[in-house]
């Protein structure tokens, strides 16, 4: 089916006879991605050649012709949305279309836009070399052709390279062998045969019920049971069709700006706190909907909280047990070794019921692993089986297989395979440093496989095409990401994954299915919406993180597009949407009432052994405290804690989640003591109270269940300021013994003129105006330079070891760093933890900002080392 091409001329007027390229762009692959890219580039006036290893278009839907192959995203959404006319001309027949229908659709698209004339079929791209002098790629194909181009785009698919059979003896089998991913075009008749299926991922789960209809005997070899829910296939769902018909553009826009590329109502219901009725109701609705994103979104927190995840998982297992007659088979089919969603769940049509058929048998490879494949069949540790046919549904070398499978050599001859030997490294999942003018669609670091790929593919294609149009308009001919931008993106991709349960699974998302493949989380899990926003921002900021050059000149706006921790960004964006009045616009009593109300809405923090309220004597009356005792038998070391709140707000319970977290992580008694607040009691009242608290707690350690002299002071923000102040005083007055000080994003000076104060003046909760408001209430200008208010100006030698924690996006960051440096210079042992991507408040948001947990764990480890009896955390 290859097609002859007419003469092509590159946009810079070259026909390939001199030093210029033969075409502007070479695209590899003619699936969803390659087809749409060809259409868009051509419409923008670029000359394009597409090479495709297959004999026709379709990609995934050309190759995966196994019985039962269907999409698992509803066809209302798993479809091109770029052209309303196209949508009017094509009607999907089912909620989840079969492979033949999707292939027909892609052929229809190809013909409708006359795409074939620029596609060369049966041509595998084997190599591509960048020439830094000419600024061109030379692309080599299996047909012996070499084509030069300005831009080289791999639209080679992220599930297009079948995993090689990694089972001992596989080549020996003398019967028929099939791969779901390379199913024969003429079909396969398994009638009356003894058939083995190896693998129970989506391909296995879709094909097994249909293979069972033909086979005389079917034996399913299962290594890992997978979660599957019924697809409830039917005509396209009326609600989605209705929304599309009512306002197509709004529906498509909602998909583009959704988490997964499918319009969905997001929930804020948490698994742990929902009532049993609500849990059941939400689960049953998702089960009935038969949609992946519905079962993955029963609770807002099921992707991050093991307990919440387990609620949904167990409900699926219950359903499964009610379908499968034999309890032992049912139990073997129950997934228990991974959290729901951390391996791709499946949609099935009669999968579990298939195991009730008398001729179908499940072999649990966890109990009885395959020892070898023989000429006649499969041997496991417990039994020998004979088969006429083996079907491998064993998956793909996903995300990177097709990219590193081509010998792509960038600057200096370094290949992609070499560069990515320890794992992929990309900017936006689309580009990689050292490989100018190279783009990979749906590559690692993009949302691709975690999303409705039709939507993601359109976004990738649009971004690449729009960028090439921009380059042409500005006389640029080269684009390459900087290392800074790329490292920043890799970090962001890893940060997003780290707060989820995903890294805990042996999934193909983690590269775990291919022996020797680097173990990292390959796709971007921050969401289609956030990804799109990041890509748009890069263009809007004039190609932030890219180096561009050409006859039009040279430019590089270097930088990192996403620096905040993803959950911190989410919280900030949610707060911005609430349009809360600034605290400094309120009176102190109003601000206190507002903070109290907000505190009532947050998660309470982890369980501790005991909570005790009490009072202790202060210089101007009693000071209230709340004590948090670990569940383990005492006595324990003691942490005396002072809350944050700019000396104006807060009390002994205002940082309760943080105190509980500290208590659990350090196995220490945490005593959170209140102090007098400004403006009613100005500086140094708070410090006087803190000093009284230190003396009292030091003297009453045994009564509190503490170990005498095993005391650390800890505080956050203004509370950390008090810690620094009273630690200096304890040194000067010869006690009580303080073994260490934890200063969490401390206020250490009153100058308010540091770099961080300017950089982070607005937008990160603690703003510059708010900090000024705090100082104005707390302290007269004349007093602000005294060490009792600004401990950075005090004498620092002879102080106990300090743990100083600073947050990147905090106006107080630089004064925290300055304090750590000054302590160190004075000979005090200091551990400085710089919390990347965090704000002044985010580390205290226990149970909300999950990325803060890693930092608090580090704090606890260091704190444990300061206490007399370090404890395992």
Nearer to ligand FAD, 56 or 651 (CB): 56
Nearer to ligand FAD, 101 or 596 (CB): 101
Residue 60 binding: pick among ligand FAD, ligand NAP, none (C-beta 5-8 Å cut-off by kind): ligand FAD
User: Measured between alpha carbons, how far is 192 from 842 in angstroms, rounded to an integer?
Assistant: 63
Q: Is 401 in the site for ligand NAP (CB under 6 A)?
A: no
Q: Is 78 in the site for ligand NAP (CB under 6 A)?
A: no
Q: Is 771 in the site for ligand FAD (CB under 6 A)?
A: no
Residue 139 binding: pick among ligand FAD, ligand NAP, none (C-beta 5-8 Å cut-off by kind): none
Q: Is 159 in the site for ligand NAP (CB under 6 A)?
A: yes
Tell me which of 79, 98, 156, 224 binds ligand NAP, using CB under 6 A: 224
Per DSSP, helices labelled H in 765-849 are: 768-778, 813-825
Of 463, 461, 460, 433, nearest in space to 446 by CA: 460
Q: Is 52 in the site for ligand FAD (CB under 6 A)?
A: yes
Residue 125 binding: pick among ligand NAP, ligand FAD, none (C-beta 5-8 Å cut-off by kind): ligand FAD
3-state helix, strand, coil in the chain (%, to 5): 35, 20, 45
Q: Is 72 in the site for ligand FAD (CB under 6 A)?
A: yes
User: Measured between alpha carbons, how far is 629 from 610 in angstroms, rounded to an integer?
Assistant: 5
Stretch that binds ligand NAP, among 21-29, 197-205, 546-554, 861-869 (CB under 6 A): 197-205
Residue 199 binding: pick among ligand FAD, ligand NAP, none (C-beta 5-8 Å cut-off by kind): ligand NAP
DSSP code at position 474: T
Q: Is 806 in the site for ligand FAD (CB under 6 A)?
A: no
Residue 347 binding: pick among ligand NAP, ligand FAD, none (C-beta 5-8 Å cut-off by kind): ligand NAP
Stretch that binds ligand FAD, among 67-75, 538-546, 683-691, 834-842 (CB under 6 A): 67-75
Residue 608 binding: pick among ligand FAD, ligand NAP, none (C-beta 5-8 Å cut-off by kind): none
Instruction: Classify 162 as helix, strand or coil.
Output: strand
Q: What residues numbered 411-470 form the site for ligand NAP, per CB under 6 A?
A: 449
Q: Is 162 in the site for ligand FAD (CB under 6 A)?
A: no
Strand partners, 408: 128
- Under a CB-based contact definition with an 8 Å cutoff, are residues 349 and 68 in contact? yes
Strand partners, 27: 50, 153
DSSP code at position 510: G
User: Measured between alpha carbons, how far is 401 from 457 in angstroms, rounded to an integer?
Assistant: 18
Of 577, 463, 495, 508, nearest in space to 849 by CA: 495
Tell me which of 167, 197, 479, 694 binds ligand NAP, using CB under 6 A: 167
Q: Is 156 in the site for ligand FAD (CB under 6 A)?
A: yes
DSSP code at position 557: B
Q: Which two tokens stand for residue 304?
A: 């991050």
Instruction: Classify 469 as helix, strand or coil.
Output: helix
Nearer to ligand FAD, 123 or 817 (CB): 123
Q: What residues numbered 358-417 form the site for ligand FAD, per CB under 6 A?
A: 402, 406
- Under a CB-based contact definition with an 8 Å cutoff, are residues 94 and 101 in contact? yes
Residue 459 binding: pick among ligand NAP, ligand FAD, none (C-beta 5-8 Å cut-off by kind): none
Tell me which of 40, 42, 116, 223 binds ligand NAP, using CB under 6 A: 223
What DSSP string runs through 383-408?
-EEE-SEEEE---B-TTTHHHHTSEE
Q: What residues numbered 203-222 form the site for ligand NAP, per CB under 6 A?
A: 203-204, 206
Nearer to ligand NAP, 200 or 844 (CB): 200
Provide the phi-psi class of 523: left if phi over 0, else alpha when psi is between -120 and 50, else beta.
Answer: beta
Total of residues contacting ligand FAD (CB under 6 A)? 35
Stretch that binds ligand FAD, among 62-70, 528-536, 537-545, 657-665 (CB under 6 A): 62-70
Q: Is 199 in the site for ligand NAP (CB under 6 A)?
A: yes
Q: Are strands 48-51 and 23-28 parallel, antiparallel or unpaired?
A: parallel
- Under a CB-based contact definition with an 8 Å cutoff, are residues 433 and 482 in contact? yes
Q: What residues numbered 543-562 form the site for ligand FAD, per CB under 6 A?
A: none
Strand partners, 706: 636
Residue 803 binding: pick among ligand FAD, ligand NAP, none (C-beta 5-8 Å cut-off by kind): none
Q: Is 68 in the site for ligand NAP (CB under 6 A)?
A: no
Computed from CA positions of residues 534, 538, 540, 544, in that sequence, does the dihedral angle turn out positive or negative? positive
Helix axes 306-323, 276-289, angle to 10 degrees: 60
Stretch that binds ligand NAP, among 11-19, 194-202, 624-632, 788-796 (CB under 6 A): 194-202
User: Measured between alpha carbons, how far is 24 from 12 in angstroms, rounded to an integer?
Assistant: 8
In the complex, residue closest to ligand NAP by CB: 201
User: Measured between alpha carbons, how far is 509 from 491 in angstroms, rounded to an integer?
Assistant: 17
Q: Is 452 in the site for ligand FAD (CB under 6 A)?
A: yes
Residues composing the chain: 873
Q: Is 131 in the site for ligand NAP (CB under 6 A)?
A: no
Least distance in Å: CB of 224 to ligand NAP? 3
- Under a CB-based contact definition with an 8 Å cutoff, are residues 351 and 362 in contact? no
User: Measured between alpha carbons, how far is 491 from 510 in angstroms, rounded to an integer?
Assistant: 16
Nearer to ligand FAD, 34 or 791 (CB): 34
User: Measured between alpha carbons, how far is 146 from 128 in angstroms, rounded to an integer?
Assistant: 9
Least distance in Å: CB of 110 to ligand FAD? 12
Map residues 12-51 to x or -, x wherever contact with ligand FAD holds by CB under 6 A: ----------------xxxxxxx----------------x
Tell me which of 50, 128, 229, 347 binds ligand NAP, using CB under 6 A: 347
Q: Cα–chain-centroid distance for residue 774?
A: 37
Q: How far apart are the first and last CA of the chain?
A: 64
Residue 393 binding: pick among ligand FAD, ligand NAP, none (C-beta 5-8 Å cut-off by kind): ligand NAP
Provide the phi-psi class of 636: left if phi over 0, else alpha when psi is between -120 and 50, else beta.
Answer: beta
Least distance in Å: CB of 450 to ligand NAP? 9
Binding site for ligand FAD (CB under 6 A): 28-34, 51-54, 59-60, 62, 64, 69, 71-73, 78, 124-125, 155-157, 159-160, 203, 402, 406, 441-442, 452-453, 457
Binding site for ligand NAP (CB under 6 A): 70-72, 159, 166-167, 198-204, 206, 223-224, 344, 347, 365, 393-396, 449, 508, 513
């Amino acid at each position: 089916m290859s097609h002859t091409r007419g003469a092509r001329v590159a946009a810079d007027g070259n026909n390939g006879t001199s030093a210029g390229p033969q075409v502007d762009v070479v695209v590899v692959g003619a699936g969803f991605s390659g087809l749409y890219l060809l259409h868009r580039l051509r419409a923008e006036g670029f000359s394009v050649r597409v090479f495709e290893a297959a004999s026709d278009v379709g990609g995934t839907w050309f190759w995966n012709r196994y019985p039962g192959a269907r999409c698992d995203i509803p066809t209302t959404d798993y479809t091109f949305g770029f052209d309303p006319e196209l949508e009017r001309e094509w009607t999907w027949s089912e909620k989840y279309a079969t492979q033949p229908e999707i292939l027909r659709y892609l052929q229809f698209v190809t013909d409708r836009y006359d795409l074939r004339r620029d596609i060369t079929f049966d041509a595998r791209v084997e190599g591509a070399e960048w020439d830094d002098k000419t600024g061109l790629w030379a692309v080599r194909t299996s047909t012996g052709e070499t084509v030069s181009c300005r831009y080289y785009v791999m639209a080679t698919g992220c599930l297009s390279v079948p995993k090689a059979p990694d089972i001992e003896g596989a080549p020996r089998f003398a019967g028929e062998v099939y791969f779901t991913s390379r199913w024969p075009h003429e079909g396969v008749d398994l009638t009356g045969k003894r058939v083995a299926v190896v693998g129970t991922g989506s391909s296995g789960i879709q094909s097994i019920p249909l293979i069972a209809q033909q086979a005389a005997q079917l034996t399913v070899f299962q290594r890992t049971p997978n979660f599957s829910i019924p697809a409830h296939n039917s005509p396209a769902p009326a609600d989605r069709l209705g929304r599309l018909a009512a306002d197509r553009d709004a529906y498509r826009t909602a998909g583009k700006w959704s988490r997964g590329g499918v319009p969905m109502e997001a929930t804020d219901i948490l698994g742990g706190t929902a009532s049993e009725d609500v849990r059941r109701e939400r689960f049953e609705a998702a089960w009935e909907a038969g949609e992946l994103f519905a079962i993955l979104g029963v609770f807002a927190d099921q992707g991050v909280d093991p307990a919440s995840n387990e609620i949904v998982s167990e409900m699926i297992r219950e359903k499964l047990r009610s379908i499968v007659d034999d309890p032992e088979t049912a139990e073997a089919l129950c997934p228990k070794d991974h959290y729901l969603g951390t391996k791709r769940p499946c949609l099935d049509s009669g999968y579990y019921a298939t195991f009730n058929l008398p001729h179908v048998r499940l072999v649990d490879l966890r109990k009885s692993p395959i020892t070898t494949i023989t000429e006649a069949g499969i041997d496991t540790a417990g039994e020998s089986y004979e088969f006429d046919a083996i079907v491998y549904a064993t998956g793909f070398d996903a995300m990177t297989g097709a990219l590193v499978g081509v010998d792509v050599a960038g600057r200096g001859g370094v290949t992609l395979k070499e560069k990515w030997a320890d794992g992929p490294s990309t900017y936006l999942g689309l580009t990689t440093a050292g490989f100018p003018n190279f783009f990979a669609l749906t590559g690692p670091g993009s949302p691709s496989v975690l999303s409705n790929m039709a939507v993601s593919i359109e976004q990738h294609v649009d971004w690449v095409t729009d960028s090439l149009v921009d380059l042409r308009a500005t006389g640029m001919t080269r684009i390459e990401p900087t290392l800074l931008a790329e490292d920043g993106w890799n970090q962001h991709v890893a940060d997003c994954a780290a707060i989820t349960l995903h890294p805990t699974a042996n999934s193909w998302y983690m590269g775990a299915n291919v022996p020797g493949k680097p173990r990292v989380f390959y796709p971007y899990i921050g969401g289609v919406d956030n990804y799109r926003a990041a890509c748009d921002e890069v263009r809007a900021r004039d190609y932030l993180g890219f180096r561009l050059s050409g006859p039009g000149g040279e430019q590089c706006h270097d930088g990192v597009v996403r620096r905040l921790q993803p959950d911190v960004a989410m919280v900030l964006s949610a707060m911005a949407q609430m349009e809360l009045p600034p605290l400094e616009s309120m009176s102190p009593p109003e601000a206190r009432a507002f903070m109290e109300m907000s505190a009532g809405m947050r998660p309470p923090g982890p369980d501790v052994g005991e909570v005790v309220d009490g009072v202790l004597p202060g210089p101007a009356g009693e000071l209230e405290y709340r004590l948090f005792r670990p569940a383990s038998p005492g006595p324990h070391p003691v942490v005396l804690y002072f809350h944050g709140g700019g000396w104006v707000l807060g009390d002994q319970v205002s940082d309760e989640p943080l105190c509980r977290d500290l208590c659990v992580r350090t196995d220490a008694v945490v005593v959170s003591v209140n102090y007098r607040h400004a403006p009613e009691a100005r500086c140094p009242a708070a410090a006087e109270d803190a000093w009284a608290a230190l003396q009292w707690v030091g003297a009453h350690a045994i009564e509190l269940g503490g170990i005498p002299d095993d005391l650390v002071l800890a505080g956050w923000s203004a509370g950390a300021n008090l810690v620094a102040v009273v630690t200096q005083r304890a040194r000067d007055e010869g006690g009580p013994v303080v073994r260490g000080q934890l200063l969490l994003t401390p206020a250490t000076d009153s100058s308010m003129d540091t770099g961080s104060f300017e950089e982070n003046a607005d937008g990160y909760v603690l703003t510059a105006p708010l900090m000024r408001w705090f100082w104005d209430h707390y302290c007269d200008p004349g007093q602000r330079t005294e060490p009792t208010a600004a401990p950075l100006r005090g004498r620092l030698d002879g102080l106990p070891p300090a743990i100083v924690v600073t947050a990147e996006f905090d106006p107080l960051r630089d004064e925290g760093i300055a304090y750590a440096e000054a302590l160190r210079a004075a000979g005090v042992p200091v551990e400085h933890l710089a919390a990347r991507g965090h704000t002044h408040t985010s580390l205290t948001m226990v149970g909300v900002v999950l990325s803060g947990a890693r930092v608090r764990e580090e704090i606890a480890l260091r704190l444990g080392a300061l206490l007399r009896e370090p404890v395992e955390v």
